[in-house]
Amino acid sequence: MIILTHSKFETIFLVLNLLLCHLASAQLNKILTHDAFPEHKIKLKEPHLCDKTVQQYSGYLDVNNGKHLFFWFFESRNNPKEDPVTLWINGGPGVSSLEGLYFEVGPCLINSEGNGTIFNPYSWNNNSSIIFLDQPTYTGYSYGGDDVSDTLTAALDVYAFLQIFFQEFHNYAKLDFHLAGESFAGQWLPVIAFDINKYNHNHDSIRNLIHINLESILIGNGLMNPLVQFKYFPDMACNSSYGPVLNHSTCNQMRKDCKKLIKLVKKCYDSKNAIDCMNVVNYLDDKIYQPYKIAGKNLCDIRKSCNYIYSNDSSACYPELKDIVKYSNREDVKTELGINSSFVFHSHNRAILNNFRYSGNFINPIDIYISSLLETNIRVLIYAGDSDYKCNWLGIDAWTKVVHWSGTKGFNKANITPWITASGNYSGEFRTFKGFTFLRIFESGHFVSHDQSVSSLDFFNRWIFKKDL
């Protein structure tokens, strides 16, 4: 009889993981390196999926500590030699950026059977080359290494990836570069942008660094500063432009609970203690999210109902997300992308979310990074679908008004202006001053580009080409 101890299980798991890594690597046909990042390398493949009309690259950023971060690049459909480059990262943390690809801004969508793709005419790669990146490790197709539970560590890997990628594809490096994403990307993107900006101004400290032409960041329904944003849950649930979605007694109780929630956030910020910060998340789930879920409402869209009994993530409300998982686990798809056939893809990894919650890194304010970017002339677009509950536009609007930078007063005095799309639709409202813009998008929830694909492409194209909304 063989008895497997815990240590033996760990050894077996490690061996299997290394075998999977070796098998996956065998499918990738080019290796990219950079002298300044000896612990990082990119393994590259050229797939032919999703949009066969454009040049594609997929593969892994491999890090010496065993991390393997998956990416997928699509050239612009229009003019890849001159159109800007955009890096898209989803939130969660732990949500695959393939969700953003297949569900929102990518060149294709998944059909209802989950066995093929549909051309997306409103993809953001119409006029921008775009990279989708699964990070941190254990997100989507990414795997291996130590668990990452803070944004700073994740940002360094992304910066190394960009340097290696642009060194190989120097034709893209000369173009404008944008960072985009949604939800917890409100935490990722400002830190990544800060790192890029910092190293752009300190080339002498590290040899052979490429100047990345960081032009802007775009954050959709983002989590930026909970101390400000969390105050607006009762207003969104009980007094939004869509009308109340909770009954009177529940609304009154939520207002009381929200006051205590804000006190807990302040305690977390003051103590910087992981337990105090975890208490915020537990209270948020119990007192703010749970009554809303019990009422059968969709956390991502107050206009819609949702049954959370069988799932604790957005796949409960959006069946299309299950189709993405089915398609991403097809053996022929994985082979084409350079993924080992036995790898199991999950679009949401709740363990990563819990790691960030337990570490106290889930509710950090990122104002200082936004301020730094604005002061160095990096444009910032904060956009929000106005029917989202969990990252609602009321709280985001309030946050944009208190970000401390040289243009704070000018931004707050700026007029709220109707946003009329190229097709003539009154699709939202915006406030802008210098390089800072807040855009409210009508009739859209958390997934703006899914709900309003035409309007989404309109504001994206205007923004990246520096045109007025």
Residues listed for the chain = 469
Residue 256 clears pLDDT 80, i.e. is over it = yes
Q: Measure the CA–CA gap between 270 and 262, rounded to whole angstroms.
A: 12
- Write the CB contacts of 52 (distance below 8 Å, at least 6 apart in sequence): none
When pLDDT is cut at 50, 70 and 90, the band that residue 137 belongs to is confident
Token pair in block for residue 61 = 């950023």
Which candidate, 268, 254, 237, places its Cα nearest to that of 365?
A: 268
Give the CATH fold of the 229-313+348-359 domain: Helix Hairpins (1.10.287)
Q: What percent of the chain has pLDDT over 90?
A: 69
Token pair in block for residue 274 = 């992981």
Domain with CATH 3.40.50.1820 in the chain: 31-227+363-464
Q: Measure the CA–CA gap between 376 and 200, rounded to whole angstroms.
A: 11
Q: Measure the CA–CA gap between 44 and 28, rounded to whole angstroms.
A: 6
When pLDDT is cut at 50, 70 and 90, the band that residue 445 belongs to is very high
pLDDT digits (tens, 9 = 90+) for 92-120: 888 999 999 999 999 999 998 889 999 99
Domain with CATH 1.10.287.410 in the chain: 229-313+348-359
Q: What percent of the chain has pLDDT over 70?
A: 89
pLDDT digits (tens, 9 = 90+) for 230-241: 999 999 999 999
Question: Annotated catalytic, 183?
Answer: yes
**31-227+363-464 has which CATH code?**
3.40.50.1820
Q: Cα 165–171–177 angle (5° rounding)?
A: 70
| Annotated active-site residue in 83, 195, 313, 388 | 388
Question: Annotated catalytic, 257?
Answer: no
Q: Cα 276–277–278 angle (5° rounding)?
A: 90
| Annotated active-site residue in 76, 446, 449, 455 | 446
DSSP 46-95: ----S-TTS-EEEEEEEETTS-EEEEEEE--SS-TTTS-EEEEE--TTTB
Contact present, 324 and 350 (Cβ < 8 Å): no
Question: Annotated catalytic, 446?
Answer: yes
- Write the CB contacts of 232 (distance below 8 Å, at least 6 apart in sequence): 392, 394, 395, 398
| Annotated active-site residue in 128, 129, 183, 449 | 183
